[in-house]
Amino acid sequence: MSIQSASIDKKVTVRTVQKLKGVEPVTMITAYDALFAGIFDGEVEMILVGDSLNMSFFAEPDTLSATMDQMIYHTKAVCKGARLPLIVFDMPFGSYTTPEQALENAVRVYQETCAEAVKIEGGREKAHIVKKLTENGIAVIAHIGLKPQSVRAEGGYRVQGRSEEEAMELMEDALALQEAGAFALLLEGMTSDVARRITEAVEIPTIGIGAGNGTDGQVLVWSDMFGFFEAFKPKFVKRYLEGAELIRQGLRQYREEVKSRAFPDDEHSY
Ligand SMILES: Nc1nc(=O)c2c([nH]1)NC[C@@H]1CN(c3ccc(C(=O)N[C@@H](CCC(=O)O)C(=O)O)cc3)CN21
Ligand SMILES: CC(C)C(=O)C(=O)O
Ligand SMILES: [Mg+2]
């Protein structure tokens, strides 16, 4: 029933991703270290070094405290682990408030890591920043809809595009960002209908999270999709594995074997 697509055996570039629009959906997953990036290598087209790092692995209530230095450190690790996927650097909160600052930080990303694109959150109001980056040879994914870096200003995480007015605003954002040079759009937390309409209206690929089945690709946070992050489970997360439960089972067996002196046995001793 399910199609087991062949592993990816060629380097994925910005162009590869753009050419997949209308051909087949693009898969993207987050990664934050070399170990997991190595496991994901060749299995997905794109890896996002997300600022979700701060929530999933540092137990912060939101992503706002992630810094450029932290994101660069983790991107370097991902670069060591993954060879084939297009690696995208999630620009942290406060790192792209002006075109000049955004360019300075994005140049740092290109000079210090192997990331091939950066992602910034924002609609039309950020189009001038996308333009500045793309004019200077930096590939940009623009992230619209539910923007986690705006959580404090918005007073929470809220699905966007439920009214026709909001839907029109999102469409205008998408078109303005495409015009500014974004090579792809990330559509987060919006109704499936709006995401589908945007996808049909733009020439660049759209990658969705909590945006339904009509986008050109999907992204999920790996610790969510494999059941390691148990603190919250939004509706859009599908668990493909019960990771935390598997780890606990292994740990319990380890503990039992240590307590009973079954481990280490001769096979694991010198
Ligand atoms: N581990 C993790 N997974 C993520 O998907 C993720 C992060 N962290 N950190 C950055 C942002 C924050 N994200 C979030 C966080 C909460 C909701 C949430 O509470 N959603 C509500 C929808 C409420 C509504 O209907 O308006 C839900 O119940 O699904 C959604 C996305 C997505 N991103
Ligand atoms: C949720 C995704 C799109 C993200 O921005 C992140 O992982 O930080
Ligand atoms: Mg993010």
What does the pLDDT look like over 15-61, one tens digit per residue? 999 999 999 999 999 999 999 999 999 999 999 999 999 999 999 99
Assess whether pLDDT exceeds 60 at residue 4: no
CB 186 less than 6 A from any atom of ligand 1 = no
Distances (CA, A) of 153 to 64, 142, 149, 158: 11, 19, 9, 12
- Interval 155-174 mean pLDDT: 97
Ligand 1 center from residue 62 Cα (angstroms): 10
Residue ID of nearest Cα to ligand 2 atom 2:
50
The phi, psi pair for 48, rounded to 5°, reads -105, 120
Q: Which candidate in 188, 203, 245, 256 is catalytic?
A: 188
- What is the predicted pLDDT for the residue at 3? 54
Q: How far is the CA of 6 from the centre of ligand 2 (A)?
A: 26
232 confidence band (pLDDT: 50, 70, 90): confident
C-alpha–C-alpha distance, residues 143 and 231, integer Å:
24
Token pair for 270: 């010198």
Assign 160 a pLDDT band (cuts: 50, 70, 90).
Answer: very high
Say whether the peptide bond before residue 264 is cis (omega within 30 degrees of 0).
yes
Going from N- to C-terminal start, the domains of the chain cover 14-239, 243-270
Give the H/E segment covering residue 163: none
Average pLDDT over residues 156-168: 97
145 lines ligand 1 (CB under 6 A): no
CA distances from 34 to 20, 75, 95, 98, 211 (A): 27, 9, 24, 32, 29
**235 close to ligand 1 (CB < 6 Angstrom):** yes
The pLDDT tens digits of the residues spanning 179-207 come to 999 999 999 999 999 999 999 999 999 99
Nearest to residue 124, comparing CAs of 198, 79, 56, 174? 174
Q: Could you tell me which residues are beta bridge partners of residue 206? A: 185
14-239: CATH topology is TIM Barrel (3.20.20)
245 in a known ligand binding site: no
Ligand number nearest to the C-alpha of 190: 1
Q: Is the pLDDT of residue 1 over 90?
A: no
Ligand nearest to the CA of 31: 2
Amino acid symbol at 257:
E
In this structure, the number of other CB atoms found within 10 A of the CB of residue 153 comes to: 7
Please write the tens of the pLDDT for every residue from 200-219: 999 999 999 999 999 999 99
Residue 255: Cβ within 10 Å count: 11
Residue, of 68 and 3, whose pLDDT is higher:
68
- The verdict on whether residue 267 carries a ligand-binding annotation is no
Question: Residue 2: which pLDDT band, with cuts at 50, 70 and 90?
Answer: very low
Structure tokens at 191: 């109704």
| Per-chain mean pLDDT for the chain | 97
ipTM of the complex: 0.96
Active site residue 188: yes
Strands 86-90 and 117-121: parallel
Give the whole-angstrom CA distance, residue 228 versus residue 223.
5
193 dihedral zone (left: phi>0; alpha: psi -120 to 50; beta) = alpha
**How far apart are alpha carbons 50 and 219 in whole angstroms?**
11
Residue found under tokens 């493909």: 240
Pick the ligand that lies closest to the CA of residue 218. Answer: 2
Of all protein residues, the one whose alpha carbon is nearest to atom 11 of ligand 1 is: 148
For tokens 């009214």, the residue is 163
Ranges 109-113, 137-141, 230-234: which has the least confidence: 230-234
How far away, in angstroms, is 13 Cα from ligand 1 center? 28
DSSP 116-144: -EEEEE-SGGGHHHHHHHHHTT--EEEEE
**Ligand 2 nearest atom to the CA of residue 209, by list position:** 3
